[in-house]
Structure 1
Amino acid sequence: MGRGPSIEGRKNASDAKRGAAFTKLARDIRIAARGGLPDPAHNAKLRAAVDKALVANMPKDSIERAIRRGAGLEGGAVEEIRYEGYGPGGVALLIDCLSDNPQRSVADVRHALSKHGGNLGTSGSVAFQFQRSGVVAIDSAGAAGIEEKVLEIALEAGADDVRNEAGQSIVLCAPEQFEALHKALQDAGLPIAHAGVEMLAANRVTVPAEALQPLRDLLDWLHDLDDVHEVFHNALLPDAQD
């Protein structure tokens, strides 16, 4: 009878996963600190990044070091880079990276795409199919009256649309309205699943059956790359997962 993973093996895997998560959280903090004041009290984007890191139990000294690096007080600079391309089935992809080594980032992204039947495109080749939008997703399944509450608060706070998808209320707004809308929904004590300014596809495309698994494998691969921050696509997936 085979033996399962050892306790040490499971701990090493858990530590590796947590380390990768901390790496991405630190990049978020550096970018936010670089784009404004290196003080969470006066930089909403930085405050949100720090709050997310604290929820993930990231050590405070690591958070402070990331802020110093973003402010240019320590270490190398991190750049925001966007790659555009196509995945299996012709699915359009926007791949946002945070990197201190663009050559490494583009090589990793190109390899991931080519390995899964996709290819890297030129700047502007797919971006026109997406629109920047504020998004707040709220868990609304099984809670009486929550959808009505979300709709009322969202419209008062300047939302453009509220959609109900897979047990969630998805609130959409203009990017400049995002901070006020997010705060209004938070202050109402609603169960927010995730929130951010994202690139939403104007139209979703149906993926051929034979391309579904390769596409999922590609998305998983991209999300696992250290430099990749966000991946947006225009695929209409059967179970509404990204």
Structure 2
Amino acid sequence: MAGHSKWANIQHRKGRQDEKRGKVWTRIIREIMVAARQGGGDVNANPRLRLAIDKAKAANMPADNIKRNVDKATGNLEGVVYEEIRYEGYGIGGAAIIVDTMTDNRVRTVAEVRHAFSKYGGNMGTEGSVAFQFKHCGQLIFAPGTNEDQVMELALEAGAEDVIADEDGAIEVLTAPADFEAVKNALQAAGLTPEVAEVTMRAENTIELTGDDAARMQKLLDMIEDLDDVQDVFHNAAL
């Protein structure tokens, strides 16, 4: 299946994330704590915790930090209790935005998210207002030049739902969330390392934004992403 060019968008996003490394550990720690609280501290029986710990290791978080936060979440140490809240809304040009947060103060969080939307011309929506435009799935993206036939054969054999060759040569593998780890492990075992590997909300269609509209949308996304309680931001804008 052929797909639109998204490699430039991916590199752009990764670059902006690299600029915000200071927030990465904070977000990963919250993800570890919520995953452990909900599914227990045994990584073999808790896929979500396993993924969170993989992210922590990739971000060079010390093992002691990881263990301490798992212990806090499972009641072995005293810690803050976070709840997960999702907000939905519209950005510039009607672009759809999903904001996933983890917070210990829901009143503060909704006020900050609403302010960010309104400051740059967006609008908060109701629950479900844009989520239908996204698919909850596992996503692995390989750089242009990767062997497409090899990726396709291994991915589909391991249980992937689809393999998409983008216009710019990047290869995108989509999985059901439950099959993500098995597919990722099969590809990595063959020496194929993805540039992006995550369970995400993938936009079904994109809205192209250019010039001033793209600049305003980027400011809106940056302000939302910089909020302390925000974990992830998903959108369907091609900037």
Structure 1 length-normalised TM: 0.82
Q: Say yes or no: does 1:64 pair with 2:73.
A: no
For 2:222, the equivalent position in structure 1 comes to: 220
Over 3 Å counting, the alpha-carbon distance change for 1:61 and 1:18 in structure 2 is farther
Task: Name the SS for the 1:135 alignment partner.
Answer: strand
Quote the RMSD (CA, aligned, Å).
2.0
Structure 2 length-normalised TM: 0.83
Over 3 Å counting, the alpha-carbon distance change for 1:26 and 1:100 in structure 2 is same
- Structure 1 contact 92–233 (Cα < 8 Å) conserved: yes
Q: Say yes or no: does 1:211 pair with 2:213.
A: yes
Structure 1 or 2, whichever has the larger Rg, is 1
- Structure 2 contact 140–194 (Cα < 8 Å) conserved: yes
Distance in 2 separating the partners of 1:38 and 1:86:
37
- Structure 2 contact 134–203 (Cα < 8 Å) conserved: yes
Q: Say yes or no: does 1:160 pair with 2:161.
A: yes
Unaligned runs of 5+ in 1: 1-15, 238-242
Task: Name the SS for the 1:197 alignment partner.
Answer: strand
Q: Say yes or no: does 1:122 pair with 2:126.
A: yes
Distance in 1 separating the partners of 2:20 and 2:62:
15
Matches within 5 A, 1:46-57: 46-57=49-60
Which residue, 135, 141, 147 being the options, matches 1:137? 141
Tell me how far 1:209 sits from its aligned partner. Answer: 4.0
Amino acid of the residue matched to residue 118 of structure 2?
S
Instruction: After superposition, give the CA deviation of every residue in 1:41-94 in whole Å (9 maximum; x if it has no partner).
Output: 432321221122123222333212211222244212111110001111111111
Tell me how far 1:206 sits from its aligned partner. Answer: 2.8
More divergent stretch after superposition (110-119 vs 67-76): 67-76
Amino acid of the residue matched to residue 173 of structure 1?
T
More divergent stretch after superposition (58-67 vs 87-96): 58-67
Tell me how far 1:201 sits from its aligned partner. Answer: 2.0
Runs of 4+, deviation exceeding 6 Å: none
Q: Which has the higher contact order (CA 8 A, sep 6+)?
A: 2
Tell me how far 1:27 sits from its aligned partner. Answer: 0.9
Matches within 5 A, 1:22-101: 22-73=25-76, 74-101=78-105
Among the aligned pairs, what percent are the same residue?
50
For 1:235, the equivalent position in structure 2 comes to: 237
Amino acid of the residue matched to residue 35 of structure 1?
Q
Tell me how far 1:18 sits from its aligned partner. Answer: 4.6
Unaligned runs of 5+ in 2: 1-18
